Structure 1
Amino acid sequence: MERIELDKATPLIRAEHAHRYRWAASLARGRVLDAACGVGYGAPILAQNSSVTHYTGIDRSHDALAIATRDFADAARSFVEGDVYKLPFADGSFDTVVSLETIEHLEDPARAIAEFKRVLAPGGILLGSVPSQAFELACRDAYGPNEHHKSEFDDEAVKELVGTVFLHSVQWDCWLQIVSVLGPRQWEPNRVWNCDSGAGAMRRLGSILFAAASLEADLPSEESLQRVDVYPATSVVEHERLTITWRDRTIRGQERTIGECTTYIARLEDQIRASAAEFAGVLERNQATIAQLDNRVQDYAAANARQKQMIDERVALIKKQDELVALRDATIAQQKTRLQDFDQALTSARARQAEVEEQALRDHQELTSKAAALQGELCTVQAALRAALAESASCQSSLAQTQRLLEESKTLVKHQADLIDKRTAFIKNLEAMIVDRDQAIRNQTLMIQERDTAIKNQTRMIDDRDAAIKKQTEMIDARDVWIRNLRAEIAALKGDLERQKSWSASLEVTLAERDLSLMQFEARLNERDILLSDTRAQYSSLMSELDRPLYCLKRTAKAMVKKVQPSGSSSPDATPVNGGSSR
């Protein structure tokens, strides 16, 4: 915050600030609030008015209030830390609010004016000041922009700002002016002077003073509005002397500042060069890292391609295995169907075998009974043959028939034995087929178990492959994130380097502008020195011109004294009289 300390200010600055407080003191009354009081130098000035019963200063700077409390606080003066946007006082706490050179520092002046109105009692008055817009422009041209000033005001802007809260307001002008003063040795300060404002000499570059109240009767009288208050500050010679001293001190300070800036710039250049070298090294390392990462990415891509090819091959192999498994399942199904058919055929064969065996047994029994019957018949026949040889001729045919029947019986028995052998062989073949079927079933079961194991292994391999692919994908994603972060860091480093370069360039431009301003300032100082030399020369010439008539007057007086005095007389009282007369 921009702040004035009177013990460190020039006489002109002290006079300017004290003059505004003297004006406020002439209008203040009752309980007075000094908003943004700074170090409190206005407290004793306002207290000079006997109408002021108590003074309260408020500022947001703790350090400034510590100085104010130390130097000016007493029973009738107090200082409070606070903000003009939110004054820590109840409504109607003060009869006068003073705020000089404050609102130009605020982002929201209307809010502060409203707070001033809130703490004013009925019949209270607001006294304030603000630099005029013309004065701000002149100062900006002479000294550069003021970073502490947020707003600019002319007469209409001040009237409009105050008029948002107060119904009535009046304005004054306060400015510093170099004037020529003429008057008697004994003069009265309150005497009206003649002021010639011709030729534009009275250009009012300074502050706008204003008083605001809710009632017009609470404003200053018409007489005070028409009065011109002149507050002597210092002589021109003293001001020039202080200006020259200040200029020399400023030049020395600027030379020190320039030296410090030069040293700082050299140090910055060294740092920039070191940083540039470091950044170049970092950039080179980062580029090498990026190249390595690109190589790794390519390796990862090749590995991924190989892995993808292996996966595709495994998928094709799995498909082939699935086809083989399906084919094997179909074969097993066919074999199962064949086994079922074989079982059915075996069952039917066994049934037929049982039927054949039963039929063979019946045939055997029948043949046996027939053989027994034939044997009995043979015995009967033989007995009959023996008994009736005579009848052999008639019985030859019966015997041949019987012999034929016997041969048929033997043939049938032999055929029955062949059938039994065939049945036995068929049963053995069936048993071998059953053993082969059981072995095939066991082999098929083993194949199914092996297939299930292979499927489980293949499933586990697929799961491992999926996990490896997922892990590889995560690694690739992490690698991509790391590469993006690394590229972002590289971009940030490049941005920092560019900002460093831009800052260095702007610093060089600023230094060049400062050097140009310094050269212009030195040129103005040289012009002032020339003007001061001319003024001193004119002053010396004027003094010389004044000394010559005085010298002639002294010589004339001495000659007249010599003519008046008798020659040779030397009165002791003559010298003082003449000396006094000469004086």
Structure 2
Amino acid sequence: MERLHSGHFELKSLADEHAHRYQIVARMAHGMVVDCACGIGYGSEILLQNPDVLKYIGVDPSEAAIHEAGKRSAQDNVVFRLGSLESLPDEVRGADTFVMLETLEHTTDPDAALKSVASVLGRNSILIGTVPSKAYEELCEKAYSPNPYHLQRFAQEELTGLLSKHFPAHELMAAEFRVGTLLRRIADESLGPGEVISMPPDQRGRIAGSILFIAGHQHMVKTALAKLGSACQFYPSISKAEMDLQEIKPVREAFADVEERVRHRDIVIKAQAQLVDDRDHLIRSHDAAIAARDAAIREQTAMIDDRVEAMRRLEEMIVARDEAVAAQSRMLEEREGVMLRLEEMIAARDDAVAAQGRMLEERAGVMQRLEEMIAARDEAVAAQSRMLEERAGVMGRLEEMVAARDEAVAAQASLIDDRDDLIKTLEASISERVALIHAQMAMIDERDRMYKDLEATVKKRDGLLESQGRELEEKAAAMRQLRTAITTGEQGLQEVTSRLTESDSNREELARELAKLESNALVRLLRFLRVMPS
């Protein structure tokens, strides 16, 4: 303990240890007493109990300590001043008794400090002080911890050398706060001269406390020793049980409180560990669900690829049909040429009906060739009709495939929605548990970031799936339009064919209708090609 303040008076053993030093000094003090490093000035009350002490000057480098000390004492012969061993106020010059208890070890230069003290003392002055022994410093370091405020350590030889340099005479004594047994008569409350029976063998030869030094001129040292009295004195404090009650019991209670808090913390940690395990299990389940969803997406992507391949084959079939339509167009152009020639022949026949009989024969031959051409045309139209029927069958099968694929996509979308609901439920559960362990589980935060990345990936895939679904719907609509156009074209072709077989008188009207049907079929085909994605 470095300095004794008002709060430390609650520990009786600590207060007694400090008070005992002043009680020892009070037996030897006289005249004007200077107490350097006086702290809050509690030593003034003990020193002034000696009637030989006429004035007390307390010196300390702390303004707060001087202020507190001033409030403790209002006596005229008690004053407190700022100062230190190296920088003493002029008021202390000529002091009769200079006191420096547990002070010299705090100085950076003990030699200069003692020189400063010696300079203010006279021939009839006495210096009384204490310093922790080197052995006691080492013992305290083992029991507590190194004291960063103690800049010096003193063995008896070192202290003797310093005192001999600045004072003609000195005397060293041991002042140790020890635990022992006090034997006294109960009937006699006044403690008279006593006797120390023995010292434990392992305690002999070393000072387990402070070294008390008395320095000055020889006659003053002898006078101080005479006032002090017996060379071996015991200043009692409290019993060991009372000391334990004040110092050990609070420590035990603190340890018990710490142990209870540790037990509570262990329970909390176990609960948090269980929460972490539960969350890990949920994350693993979630990962499995995501993996299953990824597999389903891959299957759906494969189905979409199959559908795209079917669309490609459909496009190839449409290209083949375009070529057939082009061939049909060429055949119709040829037929139109034949019809023109037929008209020319009919006109020539009408002009020569009256005069040329052979024209009838020629006309019969022409009619025979015309019938052959019509028969050939009918065979071409029949072949085209068969091809269209085959194409309609392919379109029907393709529509069935598209319908089956649409049902699979709808079922997969429903499955994905169910899994999304499950994921949302899991996310809500995970969010509640994250609030409990958020500050302690950095690793879980990392997993949360990974989980968010997975969610972003799933959202991207869902967006891609929706886009592909829209493309399939557009293609299906285009296919329906194309099928309608093909059906309309087939009906028109059938109507034209039936009309061609009826009469030759409506050839011009039939040609116009055929051209209109071809134009409408081409317009629908172009629209379909614009709708189809590249």
TM-score by length of 1: 0.43
Max radius of gyration: which structure? 1
**Which structure would you say has the larger RCO, counting Cα contacts within 8 Å and 6 or more residues apart?**
2
TM-score by length of 2: 0.46
